[in-house]
Amino acid sequence: MAGLTPLAAGTLFWDGQPALADKEAHAARIGWLGHQDAVKPALTPAEHVPQAALALVGLEKFANLPSRFLSAGQKRRLAIARVAAAQKPLWLLDEPTTGLDSASIQRFLELCAAQRQRGGMIIASTHTPIELPDTQVLAL
């Protein structure tokens, strides 16, 4: 769906047009959270995302700490903040709640609800259910 590999079958559409016909335009629509957090250890959280995004995930007090000192859960929260700050219409998330405590999962769910309220979409692969209303689950 991200266009990183060829589709196994079928066609992916966006607004009635083949989404992958213009891969650059398709990439611009996507907020991506991969298995790895893509947090640069030498940068601070404030160098990764705006202060307002740090507040969304409860990391504002760590804004100026080099990211190498963050815990796994804090790095995951920073990666989630980056997705939320990007304001993309489609979020593609791989195991988004890995390493998160219950309070961080609740914040994440609030961000997901806000994304959907704005008309955005979320596609997540996960072993842990994401408790949001009106979702569709595809078990593979």
CATH code (residue 116): 3.40.50.300
Q: Is residue 12 part of a domain?
A: no
Give me the residue label for tokens 């409860």: 58
Q: Is residue 131 part of a domain?
A: no
Helix axes 102-117, 72-86, angle to 10 degrees: 10
Q: What share of the chain in percent tops pLDDT 70?
A: 100
pLDDT at residue 30 is higher than 90: yes
Q: Is residue 52 part of a domain?
A: yes
Q: Is residue 17 part of a domain?
A: no
Q: Is residue 66 part of a domain?
A: yes
Q: Is residue 134 part of a domain?
A: no
DSSP annotation string for 12-59 = -EETTEEGGGSHHHHHHTEEEE-SS----TTS-HHHHS-HHHHHHTT-
Structural domain for 121, as ranges? 22-125
**22 CB neighbour count, 10 Å cutoff:** 13
Q: Give the count of domains, the chain.
A: 1
Report the alpha-carbon angle 101-88-133, nearest 5: 55
pLDDT at residue 133 is higher than 90: no
Q: Is residue 65 part of a domain?
A: yes
CA distance 96 to 124: 7
Q: Which helix (H) or strand (E) holds 123?
A: strand 121-125
The 10s digit of each residue's pLDDT in 86-118 is: 999 999 999 999 999 999 999 999 999 999 999
pLDDT at residue 131 is higher than 90: no
Q: Is residue 70 part of a domain?
A: yes
CA distance 97 to 54: 17
The pairing of beta strand 121-125 with beta strand 90-94: parallel
Mean of the per-residue pLDDT values of the chain: 94
